[in-house]
Amino acid sequence: MEYKTLAEAYQAIENTSKRLEKTSIISDLLKQTKQKEISKIILLLQGRVFPNWDKTSIGIASKLVVKAINKATGIDTKKIIDKFKKTGDLGLVAEQFTKKKTQATLFSESLTVEKVFKSLKKIPTIEGTGSVDKKMQIVSELLTSASPLEAKYIVRTVLEELRVGISKGTLRDAIGWAFLEKKLNFTYKQEYNIIELEDRDKYNQIMQLLQDAFDLTNDFTLVTTAAINNTLHTIKPEIGKPINPMLCRKEKNIEEAFKRTGKPAQFEYKYDGFRMQIHKANNTITLFTRNLENITTQFPEVVDIITTHVKGNSFIIDGEAVGFDAKTGKAKPFQHISQRIKRKYDIQELAKKIPVEINLFDILHYEGKNLLKTPLQERMDLLKKIIKEETKKIVFTKSIITDDDQIAQQFYDDALEEGMEGIIVKDLKTIYKPGGRIDAWIKLKPVMEPLDLVIVEAEWGEGKRSGWFTSFVLACRDEEGNLLTIGKVGTGVKEKKESDDDLTFEELTVLLKPLIEVEEGRTVKVKPNIVLEINYEEIQKSPSYTSGYALRFPRVIRNRTDERDITNISDLELVEEFYFAQK
């Protein structure tokens, strides 16, 4: 198929739910794209203008887009808002009203990918007085030059809600289809929605190569360039750019864990802190979270510790930062340190009040050598050689190596006794698999796993609670990133703050108000942004929610927006896994 514009391709992708068809459309689009535009198209297909590892947000609220549509089309703001309330999608509103332009558009130049890309990238750099107006101006200029269809997708991209249903897997496959077609040796049969493969293993191997390259770089534009230049297998981690951290699978008990890892295995405490990936190159230290967010400025004391306690000029090490009480020295649960992650002021003071201890458990790169393919045992041996341990500053994760079920069980019991979340069982022979949830790392935790869900709707309270939102509709995601509702919660949120850990209705209301998109009586739809950690008694099948599941007695544990966004909240696969596991 030939696509005249990116918008046409978006539409074709949105109009099908078949993954292979989406892959084919994207691959056709990529093949016909000029070399110099490929990187931009790759990002725009993800509804982004920044690479996945770059957490810069365009940061434009729907109110501003309403103004921009008004400016570009001359249509009354009230009318725009009314339509928005009915459809819940400002993109559709822009599309409809662009058809009915009432203002002269004599000077509008036609849109190019280059122009859209450049304009969107500029938005977050605008600061100071009049910045809101300048941002609005940029959006309205784009809309003035846009066709109705383009207007729809520009608005959705500006709001960072493209959602045409392109999962990372689909994009990865499409890059393969477009640029490694001969090697993959396949035929796509659209009429039957199948692909025929000459050599399935080879096909899977090549797709895996693309996936590995992505997990290493978090950058599909780099992956694409490497596919085009046939350099995929030479992609290396780059110090200073975060790597997708390796994650765990869950198992029921020691016996099952051993079945997956083999014997002997390494048993480690699972601390309740947060993941920290530490990079050093050219005397510069950079710290990243599990979400690949750069938190170097927020943790100056960690930078100092790394400088003095880790030998070497260049490395990437992996660990968990655990908060503790400066007075008592006792470990503090994650909630207490979470405030440090987003903090922009009084950083030194907060660092003194809530210090962290770095618990190291891995090394991925050392003095120019990539260690991802090195077995865990060797990686641990090296790590031990280069760290100078000091309690409350930097230590190794507490661990044992054993093949004995009883010793392992005792270690697990001790961990829980000491207030750990659980333990992690690691296969000593395996490589470090960026982004992987494989059998090499198994976590054991005693409690029913909570879910991380995003608020998509909220309801105003009644009586003395009428100034607050008191009930929240929650959603998980599917593989393509579509949000699916799974329950409604109010329990767990407090009226009054009695301890630092409490999350209040007032706090949630303040967070949700700027995110309101559509108001219908007492209910509002909100931009999906606030992620809550949710406990529940059971997962049940239910037709009332779009996920097909509902939570029995859900309860809010905490606000997890600092660590999770809509790309890594709990997915349907996990919900199903838990559903079956509880039986």
Residue number, 267 or 315, with CB nearest to ligand ATP: 267
- The residues near 380 (Cβ < 8 Å, ≥ 6 apart) are 266, 362
Q: Which of residues 165-184 bind ligand ATP (CB under 6 A)?
A: none
Q: Which of 40, 71, 443, 558 binds ligand ATP (CB under 6 A)?
A: 443
Q: Please identify, among the stretches 3-11, 264-272, 336-344, 463-471, the one whose residues bind ligand ATP according to the rule CB under 6 A.
A: 264-272
Comparing C-alpha atoms, which of 332, 341, 352, 335 is closest to residue 298? Answer: 341
Q: Which of residues 84-123 bind ligand ATP (CB under 6 A)?
A: none
Q: Which of residues 278-297 bind ligand ATP (CB under 6 A)?
A: 290
Q: What interhelical angle do 90-99 and 148-158 show, nearest 10?
A: 150
CB atoms within 10 A of CB 16: 15
Comparing C-alpha atoms, which of 479, 553, 566 is closest to residue 171? Answer: 479
Q: Please identify, among the stretches 70-78, 241-249, 457-465, 537-545, the one whose residues bind ligand ATP according to the rule CB under 6 A.
A: 241-249
* Nearest distance, CB of residue 40 and ligand ATP, angstroms: 32
Residue of 67, 71, 270, 332 marked active site: 270
Secondary structure element (H or E) that encloses residue 188, with its range: strand 186-189
Residue number, 164 or 321, with CB nearest to ligand ATP: 321
Query: By CB under 6 A, how many residues form the interface with ligand ATP?
Result: 14
Q: How far apart are CA 526 and CA 519, in angstroms?
A: 9
Secondary structure element (H or E) that encloses residue 309, with its range: helix 300-309
Q: Is 270 a catalytic residue?
A: yes
* Nearest distance, CB of residue 337 and ligand ATP, angstroms: 12
Q: Verify binding: residue 215, ligand ATP, rule CB under 6 A.
A: no
Q: Verify binding: residue 320, ligand ATP, rule CB under 6 A.
A: yes
Q: How far apart are CA 399 and CA 285, in angstroms?
A: 27
Q: Please identify, among the stretches 25-33, 118-126, 144-152, 240-248, the one whose residues bind ligand ATP according to the rule CB under 6 A.
A: 240-248
Bridge partners of residue 363, in order along the sequence: 317
Q: Which of 361, 412, 469, 536 binds ligand ATP (CB under 6 A)?
A: 361
How many alpha carbons fall within 13 Å on the CB side of residue 498?
4
Q: Verify binding: residue 570, ligand ATP, rule CB under 6 A.
A: no
By the 8 A CB rule, do 474 and 490 touch? no
* Nearest distance, CB of residue 240 and ligand ATP, angstroms: 20
By the 8 A CB rule, do 452 and 560 touch? yes
Residue number, 30 or 278, with CB nearest to ligand ATP: 278
Residue number, 72 or 424, with CB nearest to ligand ATP: 424
Is 475 in a helix, a strand, or coil? strand
Comparing C-alpha atoms, which of 470, 478, 423, 418 is closest to residue 446? Answer: 423
If you compute the radius of gyration of the chain from its CA atoms, what whole number of angstroms results?
A: 25
* Nearest distance, CB of residue 271 and ligand ATP, angstroms: 4
* Nearest distance, CB of residue 424 and ligand ATP, angstroms: 4
DSSP secondary structure letter of residue 216: H
Q: Verify binding: residue 275, ligand ATP, rule CB under 6 A.
A: yes
Q: Verify binding: residue 243, ligand ATP, rule CB under 6 A.
A: no
Residue number, 8 or 362, with CB nearest to ligand ATP: 362
* Nearest distance, CB of residue 26 and ligand ATP, angstroms: 29
Q: Which of residues 244-263 bind ligand ATP (CB under 6 A)?
A: 245, 247-248
Q: How far apart are CA 493 and CA 495, in angstroms?
A: 7
Backbone angles phi, psi at 150, to 5 degrees: -60, -40
Q: How far apart are CA 563 and CA 338, in angstroms?
A: 8
Looking at the annotation, which residues are catalytic? Answer: 270
Which residues contact ligand ATP by CB under 6 A? 245, 247-248, 268, 270-271, 274-275, 290, 320, 361, 397, 424, 443
